[in-house]
Amino acid sequence: MKINKYFLAVIILTIVALIIRIYNISYNSIWSDEEFTLTFSKQSFYDIFFGIIAGEFNPPIFFWIEHIVHLTIGIETEFKLRIASAIFGALTIPIFYLIGKEIYNEKGGLIISTLVTFSTFHIFYSQEARAYTLMLLFISLSTLYFIKIIKSENAVENKNWILFATFSALAFWTHFYSFVFTICSFLYGIIFKRNLYKIWGKSIILYSWLSLPIVIIAMSLLEWRVTAPITYGYKGFILVKYIIEQFLEYNTISTALFVYLTMFGLLYLITKRRDVLKLCGFYFIAVILISVILSYVFPFMPKYTIFLLPFFYVLCAGAYYFFERYISPQKAFPIFMIVCIVASVWVLGFYYTKPSKDDWRSFSNELAQLTKDGDNVIISANTIEPVLRYYYNSTLDNTTVIPLPLTRAAIEGYYYNNTKPTYIILHGLSVMPNNDLREWMNSHTEYITSYQNIELFFLNPNLIN
C-alpha cells in the first residue's frame, strides 16, 4: 500500500515535535504556577474538582492528568511535572495539519504544522506544567470541526457540531478563557452562516450541558475574581501589542520571518481568499476586543489567547500561495519550507541555551553556599516561598526561612528586633514598585547577587546605627 507523502511528513513532524519539546525540558527552573500545579495535583480527583471553590483559577482536567502522572512516575522532577504538556504540544501538530488542509490543501496543512513544530512560543508552553497546550489541543480540534461545519451547506446531514461542541466543552474544562473563543465561534456562525441556525442552536445546548457542572462550581470563584483588586497582568489596548508580540516570538529573526509571512499572507488572502481573511480577521478582532474589555474586570495575560495560534499560522501560510503565483510550485514549496525551518531552528538555538524562567535552581545553590548555620532567610509569603522550598532545603542548610510581607514596615520591624544575620529575597512577582522599601534596602542592606527577577540582599543586625 502506498503511503501518502503528506501523511508521512506529518508523522515525522509530530515525532520531531515531541523530541524537541522533551529535549532540555528540565533546563528551566519551575516557577510559582508550576509549583502550584505540583501541589494541587497531588490531591484526590474529588479534592481537585472542588478545589476550584478554594481559589484555584483553572478547571480540573489538566490537574487530573497531572495527578495520574504523579501516581505513575514516582520520582519528583521537572521532567515528570512537564511531560504531559510536552505530549499535548506534540499532538497539536497533526491537528494543525488538518486545519490547514481544510482551509487550503495538503501543502497548506504541512506549512502550518511545520511552523508550529518549530515555534519557540509553542515549545515554551509545551515545557511548562500548566494547561495551555492542552487547551490549545482541544481548541484546535474544536476549530477543525467548526471549519468543517461552515464549509458544509447541508444542515441536516452535518454531524460535526457534536464534536465541535464536545471539544469546546473539554477546552472549557481545561481553561476558563477558552470560553471567549467558543463565544466567538458561535457569533461567527450566527452572523455569517445563518442558514445553519439549527446546528448552532444544538451546539450551544450541548456545549452548555457539558459545561454546566464546572460552571456551577466556578460561580463563587467568578464573583471573587471580579471583585478582587487586579494585582498583575495587562490592562486596556496595550494588550494588543503583547498579544501580537507573543506570536512573533520576541526574536529578531523570527519576528522578521513572521512579519513578512503575515504581510504576504494578507496580500494573498485579500486578493484570492477573502473567506479565509474574514474568518481569521473575525477571530483576531473579536478575541482582542473581548480581552481588552475583560482586562478591566480581572487579571489578564496575553498567553490566554494562545488559541489564536492556528489562525495566525493560517494567515502566514497564505504567503506561500502568494509566491506560488510567481514561482513554479516545484520550486516554491521546498524553498518556502526550507526558509521557515532554517529560521525557526536558528531561533531554537537561543531558546535552549538561555533561561526563559527565573533560575531558582542556581539561585538556591548559591544561597546554600552563602548562608551559615543559624542564619535567617526572609521571603515573600504569597507565591514564591513554595518555589524556594522546592529547591532549597533549610533543614539541611540549618537556616530558618521566614515568610514576611515585603513592605518597609515589616522589614524595618524585623531589622530592629532581630539578632541574627539575615538574607532577604526580593522577586519581581512579589514586590510591586515600592520606592520606600527599595530606598530602605539600599541604605540598610548589602546587595549580594541576582538571577533574572530574583535579588538577594544581606542584612547584618550588628551594623545597626
What length does the chain have? 465
N- to C-terminal Cα separation, the chain: 86
Residues 131 and 217 in one domain: yes
User: Across all residues in the chain, what is the average pLDDT?
Assistant: 89
Q: pLDDT per residue over 113-159, tens digit each?
A: 999 999 999 999 999 999 999 999 999 999 999 999 998 876 556 78
User: Which residue, of 353, 388, 404, is where some domain finishes?
Assistant: 353
**Closest CA relative to residue 22, chosen from 90, 70, 76:** 90
Supply the pLDDT for residue 326: 85
Angstrom CA distances, 56 to 50, 60, 82, stand at 9, 9, 19
Q: pLDDT per residue over 197-232, tens digit each?
A: 999 999 999 999 999 998 887 777 777 666 666 667
DSSP string, 357-422: S--HHHHHHHHHHH--TT-EEEE-SSSSHHHHHHH--HHHHT-EEEE---SHHHHHHHHHT--S-E
Residues 160 and 233 in one domain: yes
User: Which residue, of 301, 323, 353, is where some domain finishes?
Assistant: 353
Compute the average pLDDT of residues 373-392. Answer: 87
User: Which residue, of 353, 370, 387, is where some domain finishes?
Assistant: 353
Domain hosting 139: range is 5-353
Residues 54 and 147 in one domain: yes
Residues 126 and 20 in one domain: yes
Compute the average pLDDT of residues 263-271. Answer: 95
Q: pLDDT per residue over 78-105, tens digit each?
A: 999 999 999 999 999 999 999 999 999 9
Residues 309 and 444 in one domain: no
Residues 206 and 334 in one domain: yes
More confident of the two residues 331 and 95: 95
Residues 337 and 426 in one domain: no
428 has a pLDDT exceeding 80: no
Residues 345 and 374 in one domain: no
Check if the beta carbon of residue 339 is closer than 8 Å to that of residue 114. no
Residues 130 and 54 in one domain: yes
Residue 38, classed as helix, strand or coil, is helix
- Torsion angle of the four alpha carbons 211, 213, 215, 216, in this order, in degrees rounded to the nearest 10: 160
User: What domain count does the chain have?
Assistant: 2
More confident of the two residues 381 and 104: 104
